[in-house]
Structure formats: structure tokens, C-alpha cells
């Protein structure tokens, strides 16, 4: 192989990584807005805690419904055209927020979120196996960690940006709502609040449509995931469907609970802070703290996998940390507070955050969660050969954990309180630990 060919392949590899990194940035920006939308829509649409968590339900349930159709769409459109389609679908979902805001109709907001999730399911069904296969399998967790940094960097910025627009002067608004003397005055205040979401989502829609067109004209190396040439494990070429691979089935289960606990940690923490009397001016930064923790974990993963620690062992460490931080969040008295310095990522102003120590442990779950997704993916699709594409769709369907577990958290928060509701995290991390220690090693239902 001559030097020009090698250089060309290296250039294509870097371009591909950069494009997929930009897409993961978009994933994070859109996904982690939900942490702000939950308290925003709770007030604007007059919801209780349980109803507010239908925000995450509508967004993540689309992955379960649309993952297999997304796989079919990608077979018809190809990878690059499928990415463009996904971006355009997300743009349509963002535009649905316009009539939803004008009518203050919670159902329409949920429709917009579902459509955005549909577009993301198309993008994720393509991009996750693509980033796994584009380089050596043993360093897949490192590449996915790089993508995770792009994702969580966007997620760190997004809630602060949206909160600065839609939750601006929320204390004054809350006082005005409490002092409203009649229904018409209260309705006018809530209508004004709901319409604050229009401008950011119109801008988002424009950006998504433009990016969709840009993807159509850039060069991406073609990887046919269906015919990806990884050999199946010796003696297993007789298998007829993906459900004959225990490492995948257990991986889907582990990923279901992982996404659930990740979404709870990131999207409930603002509302949890509010429930303890923390003002939204401080609480709006809490999701960003969680995602900063995830970025720290990703950086550790990039530096250590596979040179210092294997993907499987990294998963074990993350599961143990998840259990430890969850128990600490549950048992730390909610009255204990701490002030921490923080720099606003938009204004770069120095901010003193008042945060309950229990909430700080929830934010630290970001570190525990960081390497779970990067480690599960390559372990789950290892040795699947021609079944890789279908397996990837099933793993994307597991994202529905982000729809169901936060909803259950909201129900527990109403029935007990927002702190004890975090007990739901513990069995999730125990299942992840099972996969890390045992589940990923099975290659047959009859033997390991």
C-alpha cells in the first residue's frame, strides 16, 4: 500500500469521525433540553410531577417504535441520505413546538418531542454501529467515548441556554401567578411563558434543515453494515436470528436500564433541586454538572481503554460507582447543602451554586454512567457478523428505558418523595453489573 493511499484513508477516517462527532453534538443538544422542558412545561401546562415526566416518555418511546423501521429506512436510503432524513425529521419535530406553544397544548408538545425522537432514532441507528465498525473493535469504546464528549458538551450547554430563555425571571413569574386574581390573568401569564419556547425551537429547526442539506454534499466512506465482514464466532454460523446470541439479549436489557438511570440522573435533577427549595437560577445548572461528570468519565475512558483497562472491566467499575452514588444520594439528608464555584458556559461569569449534597451525588452519577454505553455496544454486537444491523436496531430500541423508568420515578416521587424515588436507580445498576461480570461472556444459551 503506497503512502498516498494510506494518507487518503487516514483523511477519510478523520473526516468521518468529525462528521459523526458533529451528529453526536446534535444528539446531545436536543436530548438534554428535556431536563429544562420538564419544569418548564410543568408550570406552563399546569402539570403534576408524574405528568411532567411524559416529556421523557414521548421523546424516548419513539426509539422503541421507530428503531426497526429506521433500520429498514437506512437499507433503502443508505447511510448518508438516512442521516439527512433524520435531521429533517428532527426539524419538523422542532416546528411542532410553534402551534404547541400558541395553544399551550401539552399533547402537541409531546407530538413534537416524539417526532424529534424519531429523527434521532434514524441517526442513532446508523451512527452507533458506524462508529463501532469504522476502526478496530478493541478500541471501539474509546471512539464512542470521543463521541460521548461531543454529545455531553452539547448537553452541558443546551439546558443552560434554554433555561436562560424560557425560565428567565421565573421567580417573578411564580410570584405573579400566585398573586393572579382571576383565571384570565393567570392564563395570560402562562400563555406568555409558553410562547418563550418558540424562538429557540424555530432556530433549532432552521439549523437542523441546513445540516441535513450539508450532509448530502459531504463525502463519507461507505461502510455496508449489513455485510460487515467481521467473522462470527467459530461454530456459531448455524444461528438463524439475533435472539440466539445471549450477549446481545443481555446487552439490550442492560442498555434499557442504563438509559433509564442516565435519563433520571440528568433530567430529574433540576426538578429535584426545586423540590428542596433551590431556586431555578441555581437548579438550571444541575443537569450541566451531571454531564460534566460524564465528560470527565469519557476522558478517563479515552486515556485508559484498552491500554490500562478492558471495556468489560470499565463497565464493572461504572456499575459499582452507580450503586455507591445512588445509595449516597438516597441516604444523605436533603437539608445538607454546599456551595460550589461554577462558571456559566454561556456568559463565562463565575457563579456560586447552592446545591444539596444529595443532588451532588446525583450529578456524580454522570461519572458512573459515562462508560456504560461505550462499553455495552461493542460487547453486545461482538461476533454477530451479518446480524449486526438488526442487533444495532434492537440496542437502539433499548433506549426506551429512558421513556419508562423516568415515568416510574415521577410516580414514586409523587407517592413518596423526590429523594426516595431514586431507589429505582439501584436495581438498574445491579443489572448493568450482572452484564459486566457475566452476561456479556455468554455465547450460547446452553453454555458460555
Which DSSP letter does residue 308 get?
T
Burial grade of 304 (CB within 10 A; 0-12, 13-18, 19 or more): middle
Query: Considering only 38-47, 152-161, 320-329, which range has the smallest mean pLDDT?
Result: 152-161
Sign of the torsion angle spanned by Cα atoms 223, 398, 62, 367: negative
Q: How far apart, in whole angstroms, are the C-alpha atoms of residue 441 and residue 313?
A: 12
Contacts of residue 23, defined as CB under 8 A and 6 or more positions apart, other chains included, come to 83, 123, 127
Cis peptide before 46 (omega within 30 of 0): no
Domains of the chain, earliest start first: 3-219+245-441 (1.20.1250.20)
> Contact 64/403 with Cβ under 8 angstroms?
yes
Phi, psi angle pair for 68, to nearest 5°: -65, -45
Grid cell at residue 138: 478493541
> Contact 82/392 with Cβ under 8 angstroms?
no
Residues 223-262 pLDDT 10s? 655 544 444 544 455 677 888 889 999 999 999 999 999 9
Which DSSP letter does residue 362 get?
H
Q: Which residue has the higher pLDDT, 409 or 343?
A: 409
Residues 246-302 pLDDT 10s? 999 999 999 999 999 999 998 899 989 989 988 877 888 888 889 888 888 888 888
Q: Is the pLDDT at 118 greater than 60, yes or no? A: yes
pTM: 0.82
Amino acid at each position: 500500500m503506497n503512502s498516498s493511499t494510506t494518507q487518503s484513508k487516514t483523511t477519510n477516517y478523520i473526516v468521518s469521525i468529525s462528521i459523526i462527532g458533529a451528529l453526536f453534538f446534535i444528539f446531545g443538544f436536543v436530548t438534554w433540553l428535556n431536563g429544562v422542558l420538564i419544569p418548564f412545561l410543568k408550570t406552563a401546562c399546569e402539570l403534576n410531577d408524574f405528568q411532567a415526566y411524559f416529556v421523557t416518555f414521548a421523546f424516548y418511546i419513539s426509539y422503541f417504535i421507530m428503531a426497526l423501521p429506521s433500520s429498514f429506512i437506512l437499507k433503502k436510503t443508505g447511510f448518508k441520505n438516512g442521516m439527512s432524513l433524520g435531521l429533517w425529521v428532527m426539524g419538523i419535530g422542532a416546528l411542532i413546538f410553534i402551534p404547541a406553544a400558541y395553544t399551550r397544548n401539552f399533547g402537541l408538545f409531546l407530538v413534537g418531542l416524539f417526532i424529534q425522537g424519531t429523527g434521532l432514532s434514524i441517526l442513532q441507528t446508523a451512527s452507533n454501529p458506524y462508529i463501532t465498525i469504522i476502526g478496530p473493535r478493541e478500541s471501539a469504546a474509546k471512539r464512542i467515548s470521543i463521541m460521548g464528549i461531543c454529545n455531553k458538551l452539547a448537553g452541558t450547554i443546551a439546558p443552560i441556554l434554554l433555561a436562560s430563555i424560557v425560565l428567565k425571571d421565573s421567580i417573578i413569574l411564580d410570584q405573579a401567578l400566585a398573586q393572579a386574581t382571576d383565571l384570565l390573568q393567570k392564563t395570560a401569564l402562562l400563555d406568555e411563558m409558553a410562547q418563550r419556547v418558540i424562538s429557540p425551537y424555530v432556530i433549532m429547526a432552521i439549523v437542523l434543515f441546513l445540516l441535513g442539506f450539508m450532509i448530502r454534499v459531504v463525502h463519507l466512506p461507505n461502510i455496508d453494515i449489513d455485510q460487515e465482514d467481521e467473522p462470527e464466532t467459530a461454530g456459531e454460523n448455524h444461528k438463524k436470528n439475533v435472539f440466539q446470541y445471549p450477549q446481545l439479549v443481555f446487552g439490550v436489557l442492560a442498555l434499557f436500564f442504563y438509559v433509564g438511570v442516565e435519563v433520571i440522573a440528568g433530567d430529574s435533577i433540576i426538578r429535584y433541586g426545586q423540590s428542596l427549595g433551590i431556586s431555578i437560577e441555581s437548579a438550571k445548572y444541575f443537569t450541566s454538572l451531571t454531564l460534566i461528570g460524564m465528560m470527565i468519565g469519557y476522558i478517563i475512558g479515552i486515556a485508559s481503554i484498552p491500554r490500562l483497562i478492558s471495556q468489560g472491566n470499565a463497565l464493572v467499575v461504572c456499575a459499582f460507582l452507580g450503586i455507591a452514588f445512588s445509595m449516597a444520594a438516597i441516604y444523605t439528608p436533603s437539608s445538607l447543602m454546599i456551595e460550589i464555584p461554577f462558571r456559566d458556559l454561556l456568559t463565562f461569569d463565575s457563579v456560586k451554586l447552592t446545591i444539596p449534597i444529595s443532588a451532588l451525588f446525583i450529578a456524580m452519577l454522570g461519572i458512573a454512567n459515562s462508560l456504560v454505553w461505550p462499553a455495552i455496544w461493542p460487547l453486545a454486537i461482538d461476533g454477530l457478523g451479518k446480524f449486526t444491523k438488526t442487533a444495532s436496531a434492537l440496542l437502539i430500541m433499548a433506549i426506551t428505558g429512558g421513556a419508562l423508568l423516568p415515568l416510574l420515578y415521577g410516580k414514586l416521587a409523587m407517592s413518596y418523595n423526590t429523594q426516595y424515588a431514586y431507589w429505582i436507580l439501584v436495581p438498574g445498576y445491579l443489572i448493568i453489573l450482572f452484564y459486566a461480570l457475566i452476561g456479556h461472556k455468554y455465547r450460547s444459551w446452553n453454555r458460555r
